[in-house]
Every structure is written in structure tokens, then in C-alpha cells.
Amino acid sequence: MPGRLAPSSSSTPHGGHRPGPIPTPAPIPAAEWRVRLEAHRERARAHTVPTRRRRGANRPHPVEDFLFTYYRHSLAKLEQWHPGFPAAIEAGAGADEEFPSFWCRSPYRRRDGIVFQDPSQLPSAKRERLRWIHDLLVATAGRPPILHCHGLHEWAMVHRGAEIRHQGVLPLRLPQAEIDAFVESRPLCCSHFDAFRFFPASARPLNRLQPSLDRRPEFEQPGCVHANMDLYKWAFKAMPWVGADLLMDCFELALELRRLDMRASPYDLAEFQLEPIAIETAAGRRDYEAQQQDLARRAVPLRGRLIGSLETILAATARVAGD
């Protein structure tokens, strides 16, 4: 018989009376979850093992390692497989040396040989964070994509050479004067705050949009390379509730987006076998826009899956809290 959530008390962390247990689905059999766990580890280690080797050799990769240095989700956590809510896992009655320790901590609970995620273990602060993420994703999905930015944000970031983020790691492939002239000759329309905040003072007034942290939901749009890359960020911030399969799908798309982002930048990536997309030419801009559009199209179902997963857990926590 499938287990059911059993309250440890009649109240919840959110202050309401629990109206009743939430049923869990039939658990994933041990033979199946072991296969899925190992398959996920291998999928993740295709990325984490080379990163660990580079760290050990002190040879960072400015493209491949970006998702671990900028987003700060650890290598070890990416390797963990979580089934996502409301899936349950067959744990058995006794100890299992193969049973992962991360399934033994909150928000997981164990009952009658079944392990499941208990929505009553979601603190109110994280619940509100998940609601904010959900609302941001819905707002982003509801806007038309902007597909004529051509990756100019990376050029704007090095305008006039005052601040060059990859200085000493990557050389510029064009003289500074040519970069400046190109930035000043094109319309800038960066809608993503986390890109715009790296613009130097000289480039900020050139941007037709002025996104800010508190107004982020008003600006983000589904054609943006960085907004689509951020699907990985929102997925790991919603872990373990959304599940590791969706997390890895978002990670792998984010890596492709990062490659596009840097190939279209003014940096020379020849050392890393990455050919530039010369957006300073009309042909390069057409190439960039086609690739951006393809990646934006692939981001649509991932955003939809994230929204659906967040709605499922938010509805469950609302029921537990008696909202």
C-alpha cells in the first residue's frame, strides 16, 4: 500500500491546522530508482568530472565552468538524483547501504518503507521564494520574444575598456576602438538585469531599457539568452521539489546558451576551440539570431515544466497550511 503523509503534529510551520494527509503515488521500485540514480550521476558527471580536473590543475574554462562559478550550485548537488514532488521512493524496511543520505533529510520523510517529500517541511520563506519564481516565469512566458539584441550585452560590458571581466584569461579579438565604435553604432536593448548590471557607466545610457532588480518581472522576456540560461538557476533554487531530471535539462540548455553567448562576444576563444559569431557583420547577426531563436524555442517547454512543477508544490503547501 502506498504511504501517506503523516503529520508530526496538528499544526504546520505556516501556522495553520493541517486539514488532512496528502496521498502519495505508488512508489518508484528500488530496482528502478537505482537505475535512474546511476543514469543521472553519469549524465551529471559528464560535466562535473572535467570541471573538477580543471580545478585541480588550476586551468578554469571561461565557458564550460561558468554555470558552476556564476550560479553557485555545487558539483556534488548536481550529481544528486531527486525524483521531484510528489513522487515517492521505495526504501524497504531495513537499512540499505545504497540508499542516498540526501533522501534522509528534510524535506524527505520515511513511512512504511516509503520515502517522500513532505510539503509541510517547506519553510514559509522558501515557499514565498518559489511563488516569486513562479510569477516571474509566468510573466516571462507571456511576453513576445526580443530576437534582435544580437548578444550586444557582452560588447557593452567592455565598452571603453574600463572593466573587462575576462581580462587576463581571454584576449579581445578586436581592438578596443572598434569595439567601442560598434557598441555606439547599434541599438542596445538588453532586458536582463543580471547582464545590464555589468554595463560600465559609459554604456548604461546607450541601453534603451533600464532593467532593475526590483522591476525584473516587468522586463524579462523569453527570447533573452540570459533569461533562458536562468531556467537552470530557478530549477536548482526549487530543488529538490522540481526533480533532478528537469534540473539537468535546464543545465544542459544553459550550457548551450552560454556557448552562444560567448561565441558572439568580443573575446577570442580560439584557445578553447570555439569559433566566433561575428555579430559586427550582417551575416554574423543573422547567424546569432537564428541560433538564439532555436534555443529560445527549446526553452519554452522547460519553462512550462518549471511552472507546472512549482504550481504543484505550491498547491500542496497551501493545502497543508490550510490556505
Question: What integer pLDDT is reported at residue 168 of this predicted model?
Answer: 67
Q: Would you say 115 and 109 are in contact if contact means Cβ atoms under 8 Å apart?
A: yes
Question: What integer pLDDT is reported at residue 2 of this predicted model?
Answer: 32
Residues 6+ apart with CB under 8 A from 238: 130, 133, 306, 309, 310, 313
pLDDT digits (tens, 9 = 90+) for 224-245: 999 999 999 999 999 999 999 9
- Burial zone of 1 (CB within 10 Å; 0-12 exposed, 13-18 middle, 19+ buried): exposed
List the chain residues with pLDDT less than 50: 1-20
Question: What integer pLDDT is reported at residue 175 of this predicted model?
Answer: 96
Query: What is the Cα–Cα distance from 145 to 141, expressed in whole angstroms?
Result: 9
If we measure between CA atoms, which residue out of 116, 67, 95 comes closest to residue 262?
Answer: 67
Containing 299, the helix (H) or strand (E) segment is helix 282-321
What percent of the chain is predicted at pLDDT more than 70? Answer: 90
Question: What integer pLDDT is reported at residue 99 of this predicted model?
Answer: 85
Question: What integer pLDDT is reported at residue 48 of this predicted model?
Answer: 97
Question: What integer pLDDT is reported at residue 21 of this predicted model?
Answer: 55
Question: What integer pLDDT is reported at residue 72 of this predicted model?
Answer: 84
Question: What integer pLDDT is reported at residue 253 of this predicted model?
Answer: 98
Q: Which residues pair with 172 in a beta bridge?
A: 267
Question: What integer pLDDT is reported at residue 322 of this predicted model?
Answer: 72
Output the CA–CA distances (angstroms, integers) from residue 298 to 93, 133, 145, 295, 305, in the order listed.
42, 20, 13, 5, 12
What's the predicted TM-score (pTM) here? 0.90
What DSSP designation does 120 have?
G
Question: What integer pLDDT is reported at residue 25 of this predicted model?
Answer: 81
